[in-house]
Homo-oligomer: A and B are copies of this chain.
Amino acid sequence: MPDDLHMTPDEFRRHGHDVVEWVAAYMERVRELPIASAVRPGEIRGRLPEAAPEEPEPFAALLHDLDEVVLPGITHWQAPGWFAYFPANTSGPSILAELASAGLGAQGMLWATSPALTEIEAHVLDWLVDLLGLPQHFKTAVGPGGGVIQMSASDSTHLAHVVARDRASRAGAPIDRLVAYSSSQAHSSVERGARIAGFSRVRLVDVDDAFALRPHALREAIERDLAASLVPTIVTSAIGTTGTGAVDPVAEVADIARERGMWHHVDAAWAGSAMLCEEHRPRQAGAERADSYTFNPHKWLFTNFDCNVLWVADRAPLIETLSILPPYLRNLPSESGEVIDYRDWHVPLGRRFRALKLWWVLRSYGAAGLRHHLREHIALAQELGRRIDEHPRLERVAPVSFALVCFRHRQGNDATDVLAAAINAHPNLHVTPSTVGDTRFVRLAVGQTRTTADDVERLWTAIARAA
């Protein structure tokens, strides 16, 4: 065994250039690869040796297996024919920022453990407050609120429930009396986050014909709970539900939350990106009065997973819930109160430099460039919606929302499932079959980085042929 097995900087150069080439070639060929992995359960594991290797393997073996073992097991979220789920789109600057961040290997648990990690994050999230038309008090530079990068919207939504729970507990409410609310169409992370936070009562409130929360139903649920001596604690509004892209009446929910002293969390995980375009901001009216707001640049803003943003209107209750200071983390800048220590803003203590990719994406595209591409995706979705409306055998199940199109076959659920299967039988197209109520439907989200009008045309041809 040689004395030093670490990859030298020169080896890193050589292998690094190979990996860059591999990724560039992947970008070139992903359009042609069958999107859905065709492996059977256990097939990938079956190609791996029973035990870890005892002796070092050359880098060439790793690269070889990237093609031979990994690639067959990848479902290609970065293919331009990806219309499934929501996008998890990426971009060159974001991928390269991940490389630079990994190379620096800095850890931003405290301001002092790498001030650039904290300050660039705080600053770029303040930029985004303006870009999304959110209120000034969400900015760390203004306060009392501020923004922080989390891993996922599930984490942020869970955390909102934890902070709301603690605020209610401090006011004397027993934890088993607390109630969390959202619409029945809210993302599963809302109910899940509430239950993880210890809420045993989660009310999924009725929705209207457009799948948006009915404020009247929310009021009724709250009244019933108050009458039963329960404590309404938090309500989540969705801007762009995962099911159909529905937008809850955020302003009315904000009114109700304020009346009842409840925490109001806004989940704009996917649709938040659209708020860069002023014409969509009326749909988030009322969000300026929210206690917390979350959106995912890692869905539809060309920024690699993971990158979720959580803003709070007031950082004090967040920090009060999460701050515990052991001696080995004490340091002068923290004690001066002049700096942000993001360790107190989320469940994890450690944190990598995720703001770098957001900063690089915002600068590489410019705000105008991001709006340009978002508007393009939205226009493509609107055009698809128009064609569906004109087609005699198809109908939308919900209004086209931002860049999400939900439709069905007029002959019913079976015909709709056949339609979805026929689209997904095209190796270079991928959509999600879903259900709302008893209705099966096909869910199309336009938003992969390289999706163009031609790809949407391919999709439409497949839909029309199958219909």
Contacts and interface: CB of A to CB of B under 8 A. Distances in A.
A192 to B, nearest CB: 5
A137 interface: no
17 contacts: A1-B372, A16-B92, A44-B115, A45-B120, A48-B119, A48-B123, A54-B367, A56-B365, A59-B364, A70-B120, A70-B356, A75-B114, A78-B104, A85-B328, A98-B102, A151-B151, A188-B324
A187, A321, A324: most-surrounded residue (chain B CB, <10 A): A324
Given A52-B130, A56-B366, 5 more contacts: A22-B103, A55-B366, A56-B368, A59-B93, A95-B102
A141, A158, A197, A369: most-surrounded residue (chain B CB, <10 A): A369
A306 B102 CA distance: 10
B326 A7 contact: no
Interface in A303-362: 304-306, 321-322, 324-329, 333, 336, 338-339, 347-352, 356, 360, 362
A53 B443 contact: no
Contacts of A95: 12, 99, 102-103, 105
Interface in A29-54: 37, 39, 41-45, 48, 51-54
Nearest to A197: B198
Contacts of A210: none
Contacts of A92: 6-8, 11-12, 15-16
Q: Please give me the 5 A-B residue pairs with the lowest Cβ-Cβ distance, nearest first.
A: A73-B116, A7-B92, A23-B103, A198-B198, A16-B20
Interface string A74-110: 1111100000010011111111101111111111000
A119 B43 CA distance: 9
Contacts of A89: 105
Interface in A186-219: 187-189, 191-193, 195-198, 200
Interface in A359-388: 360, 362-369, 372-373
A69 interface: yes
A416 interface: no
A20 B242 contact: no
A158 B37 contact: no
B243 A328 contact: yes
Nearest to A338: B41
Contact of A367 (B52, B96, B112, B302): B52
Contact of A41 (B90, B91, B104, B115): B115
Contacts of A96: 12, 15-16, 19
Contact of A322 (B12, B112, B192, B367): B192
